[in-house]
Structure 1
């Protein structure tokens, strides 16, 4: 067969271009004795023959399927090497990596969907978990309003890994908290009392299921619960005046922690 490298062989640069490997890699393979050129110029420059190219081609193929250089050396130089066995073992590892990558791909799909939609639940699941008053458009509206905030990103990342059962547990904890707030108000618990402060802490713990909720953020939420018609209707629908009572309780708790509720910001 004609020598594709020509009578004088190919230079390192020519081989690099032909095989798509770096000159540095070719030098390294020469230095470790894996693929040494058969010829040298008078000035000492490497020249690769057709036989050298064949060996290099096999090295490139084996590298592409993930074999290490030591394993490649055994396959190329050991006449007793079990080449099919080595390739089968590598195929198993490749299959495992593919499975892992598929899992990562599925996780990325869920993360993207969570950032875009908030909840990865069907409309039917949302109704069953959050009740008939739940509006499935609310998560999309929240995304439009808060999508650029750190808290939305934290919420989405948690949402991506949550099951319907976990969301149901969170919804139950919110319902239990609403009931406890109403019972405390009915019992005459005053804002700033130990009982009210415990409920404020409970609220911060429950709502930290969505994203980490600082005391200053909680003050801002208390204001919103009282001022926003939708939130006020929810809390006052549980007990008349509950939105204001809870806002006052949050403010009193904030003052106990040296936070001025009048100047608190979302941080």
Structure 2
């Protein structure tokens, strides 16, 4: 079940906080341009906030941000790192938020865990007129040979790998729900270099690994360690990301 995968992150919350990538400043420049309004001073609800990776960056951008997260252990990690940020337990299918109370609603790596037929009307309800819904995902860049090879290996091990992924299709999905909406789509690219163990921790924090548990995960990560050291003997991994962004302005 999708819910089982969505809540599986609670079992790897600390690992998620330590190893998951953030987002470049160019992402937030693009969000502001596509929404035609600044994040500074805006009322923002970050839905499926997880451990607060995007929440922190939104706050640093000057937004008045509130985190919304269903998983208690993920929320505990967020509270540990961002004790001053308001935190509400909830999810995008039934937002515990007042109508017309948000300038932005954001989903960083989390909108695919919702039911779009419920989460889109909920977002539009909570947004002010001309407020904006922003959805984004870091995706391993398929144009990078080693990353594509790793994704192919993982696909063989997990037949349902990325079954829940909707990053490139988000705009089209939204259009089928409400033909009056005009979602805009943009792709960015960025890179970070991390130690091998951080990269493996990132892999292990993905839902497919989390639902397997540590025993099943260990074999896969051991195999990936061997493969990666062949390509990167210095154990420094240049993770390259395609960052898919969809922004929808309320009407």
TM-score by length of 2: 0.26
More RCO (CA 8 Å, sep 6+)? 2
Normalised by the length of structure 1, the TM-score is 0.25
